[in-house]
Structure 1
Amino acid sequence: MFNLNESKPYEIFNQSCYGLTPLSDNSIDALITDPPYGISYQNHAWDKALPDKQIWADSLRVLKHGAFGLVFSSVRLMHRLMVDLEDSGFLIKDVLFWVYLNGMPKSRDIGLEIDKALAVESAVVGQYDYVQGYKKGGADNYYTETKKLKYEPCSELGIKYKGAGLGIKPAYEPVILIQKPLEKGLTVAQNVIKYGTGALNLEQTRIPYAKGESKVGHNPHPNGRVSANILRVDELEDGYDKFFVIPKVRQSAEKFNHHPTLKPVELMHHLVKLVSFEKQQILDPFMGSGSTGIASIQLKRQFVGFELEADYFAICQKRLDLLT
């Protein structure tokens, strides 16, 4: 087993997280992770299936009683992951929604599919420049195919179903809020006294009032509202309450970082502050390129991470080295 201190605020392992063998029972204060979603994202081998629920049993073992966790997921398989978490002994407390407007619809024109099935040749009606939405060959390179042909259906049935598709545009990513149960027989206050865990850090995650905005509520807090379970990418003038706003990451911000599901460090700042307090230890069993670790260290927490892929581990190590 290892011991972290202020001169070494992190420890990362280039190995499978299953077992969490370097970690002692009841030693970690919070869990924040972005595991494989099981949706074959960009056909990556590591995203073919949800993690084996052994990792959630392992995480339960190493977390202190009352510790909170945040687990990113996908809309399609969130329910399966929640069942795995619950079966492993965690309490499901909430689901946070990271909301954005620039999601990419994953669909195709069924009218054209009908033409093909009926052996009818669709009509070429123009051209367009096609830009694939992910990196190929490095952080500064987009895979672009220009002058792609644009088609429209020609069969009677194809015309009827022109533009019909298979799915709507995704506009949010769920983050499951979980908690390891309090030690049996302890109140929340007693658990916090004994372990330092069991309460969310609401004071450090309040949403400040907008400039010129009057304070709200029967007993308004000077630092703003309690953070909601909606985290927005864009500010919207829709009449709803104010939310924490964080943009999606710019892929070129770190030229050496080509991880395909990179999370914004500002988003991780908010999540780290929500489930932990200064000098506590944050665990990420699927650390990828290390955004959780970056946020943890910047906020004076300690970080423990695991990553099996050597390329992503090296990126994480470089990012952490730049901080220390």
Structure 2
Amino acid sequence: MTPYYADEAVTLHHGDALDVLRTLPDASVDAVVTDPPYGLADHHPRVIATALAAWLAGDRDHVPDGKGFMGRNWDRFVPPPALWDECWRVLKPGGHLLAFAAPRTADLMGMSARLAGFEIRDGIDWVFASGFPKGQDIGKAIDRMRAEDRPAVLRITAYLAEARRRVGVTHKAIDDAFGFNGMAVHWTTQKRAACVPTVEQWERLRGLLGFDNEMDAEVARLNGRKGEVGKNFAAREVVGSRHAGLGAGSSSVFLRGAAGVDERGHVAITAPASDAAKRWHGWNTSLKPAREPIIVARKSTGFNTTAANVLEHGTGALNIDACRTTAGQDYRNKCASVVGLDSNRNGDAYGECAREDSAHPDGRWPTNVVFGHDCPDQCRPGCPVGELGETARFFPVFRYEAKATSAERPRVNGVAHPTVKPLDLMRWLVRLVTPTAGTVLEPFAGSGTTAEACALEGLHCIAVEREADYLPLITARLTKALQPALDLGAVA
């Protein structure tokens, strides 16, 4: 297959990852480091169960329909086992897979890789503090509800329930007619989930249930109110304001001009109006995004011991010393998004955030190691890690790295990628699992961060990207990354 772009460090292919990987030789790459689609579509559990059943039955490339992150079709589900089958095949024995995932779909990502033969060895958390809360404020949501419309809504659902009963049409038959799964119950219930069909759906329901035009005007009126907030929301008292920015480390997006944001970039803080909203004030639907798990898996077949495999293939082990937390990495004041750093005895703390009881590589437990002090003064006699630096004793359990800055988000012809990973994070990851001068496979190149990381670390990267719009982003990134080396060569 002719690559889209190639130099000494990177070979970039344009095409579907599964198609391209099938052209690569067996056992030809040392590691797979990838940022695959997270599959954030809101699939019903039955859809997920159907996908798992299909995979187990041998339909290994089954992917449900839907749209995921920002409505993107490519993010409708996690990669199926067929993709990981090919990753497993092209990896050398003992080769590692590092795959990013979302907290809510990491179980599916891991299962898909397991079904391809990967052994899940561990996990790393990418921790960041700049995630913007995306949950729903329950108190506000209650006040937004048009409680004054509730009696009219229940009259319409009662009317539809009677029409359905009269002609003997089941809820399933209604759902099947619309291609829905459970919507008919919402149109005919008197419970909290009752809702009014759209005008178009109302007309289609008339054809199924044969009702008259008695409720037509009310259905049209309620549909005309969709998007409006309830009177309780308008009655909320303004008690303060806050900045609408996305927080430190972000690209200073202030959302000026958005609804509720003034010319200073401030948004009003309001107090709940209704009794129900007061009851649920301070409740939300999700946590603040602050971590993404990285699955650590290995092709654990074809060898007897890791030591022998390293000598034969150069793969199977993790380069811990090249990825320790060192004194040069300043994590001070950046640990707020990690719960339980104080005396958690898990060996994954860093920075001057708290006193730690942390695990040493030799298995002993130092007492209250305080960052900024020399390790030998704090540990038992014979502590072996003093010469490695005050924080170098820590293994890579999690990695704090702020989200990619605007400088790391290339834009070409008005196109930018929505899910760019930080370059330093990707350099750290490829170092962890790839032998010197080894080859890394990235089946989902995106904007090319993994490819650039490999180039800067002296590794070779085979990258694949399906979306043509992103190819110029990758080549622009690589040209910029390699330019200093080219300039030095010209001077020499």
Task: Using structure 1 for the length normalisation, give the TM-score.
Answer: 0.84
Corresponding residue of 1:161: 280
Question: Are 1:30 and 2:31 counterparts?
Answer: yes
- Alignment CA distance shift 1:7-1:101 (3 Å): closer
User: Aligned pair 1:292/2:450, yes or no?
Assistant: yes
Q: How does 1:1-324 map to 2 (within 5 A)?
A: 8-19=8-19, 20-39=21-40, 40-115=68-143, 116-119=145-148, 120-122=231-233, 123-126=235-238, 144=256, 145=258, 146-147=261-262, 151-184=270-303, 186-209=304-327, 213-215=374-376, 218-220=383-385, 222-223=387-388, 224-232=392-400, 246-254=401-409, 256=411, 258-324=416-482
Instruction: Report if aligned partners of 2:28, 2:92 keep a CA contact under 8 Å in 1.
Output: yes
Query: How many matched pairs?
Result: 304
CA contact (8 A) 1:202 1:226 kept: no
Counterparts in 2 of 1:213 and 1:248: CA distance versus 1, 3 Å: farther
- The 3 A distance-change label for structure 1 pair 202 and 178 is same
Flag the 1:312–1:131 CA change in 2: closer, same or farther, 3 A.
farther
- The Cα shift of 1:141 comes to 7.8
Deviation of the 1:278 alpha carbon: 1.7
How big is the alpha-carbon RMSD for the aligned residues of Structure 1 and Structure 2?
A: 2.8
CA distance in 2, matches of 1:45, 1:143: 26
Give, in angstroms, the shift of residue 128 of structure 1. 5.9
TM-superposed deviation, 1:173: 1.0
Q: Is the 8 A contact 1:86 1:92 kept in 2?
A: yes
More strand by share: 1
Tell me the distance in 2 between the aligned counterparts of 1:13 and 1:299. Answer: 21
* Offset of residue 129 of structure 1: 7.9
Residue 315 of structure 1: how far off its partner (Å): 0.4
Distance 1:226 1:132 in 2: 34
Q: Deviations over 1:259-290 (max 9, x none)?
A: 21111111111111100122100000011011
CA displacement, residues 85-126 of structure 1 (integer Å, 9 cap, x when unaligned) = 111100101110111233222222222333315234322434
Residues 7 and 311 (structure 1), Cα distance of their counterparts in 2 relative to 1, 3 Å cut: closer
Query: Partners of 2:313 and 2:35 in 1: how far apart?
Result: 25
Amino acid at match of 2:469: D
SS of 1:29's equivalent in the other structure is: strand
State, as a whole percentage, how many aligned pairs show the same letter.
30
Contact 1:124 1:150 in 2 (8 A): no
- Larger helix proportion, structure 1 or 2? 2
Distance verdict in 2 for CA 1:101–1:7, change over 3 Å: closer
Equivalence for 2:338: none
Name whichever of 74-83 and 7-16 sits farther off. 7-16
User: Does 143-152 or 67-76 show the bigger shift?
Assistant: 143-152
More deviation, 309-318/87-96: 309-318
Structure 1 residue runs of 5 or longer lacking an equivalent are 134-138, 233-245
CA distance in 2, matches of 1:323, 1:252: 12
Amino acid paired to 1:9: A
Distance 1:143 1:199 in 2: 46
Tell whether the 8 Å contact from 1:25 to 1:63 is kept in structure 2 after alignment. Answer: yes
Sort the Cα spacing of 1:114 and 1:256 in 2 relative to 1 into closer, same or farther, 3 A: closer
Where 2:88 maps in the other structure, the secondary structure is helix
Amino acid at match of 1:314: P
* 1:15 aligned partner, one-letter code: G
TM-score by length of 2: 0.57
- Further displaced range: 16-25 or 90-99: 16-25
If you compute each CA radius of gyration, which structure gives the higher value, 1 or 2? 2
Structure 1 stretch displaced more, 285-294 or 152-161:
152-161
Inter-partner Cα distance in structure 1 for 2:469 and 2:306? 42
1:31, distance to aligned residue in structure 2 (A):
0.6
Indicate if the aligned counterparts of 1:182 and 1:191 stay in contact, CA closer than 8 A: no
Q: Which amino acid aligns with 2:12?
A: I
SS at match of 1:68: strand
Which deviates the most, 278-287 or 143-152?
Answer: 143-152
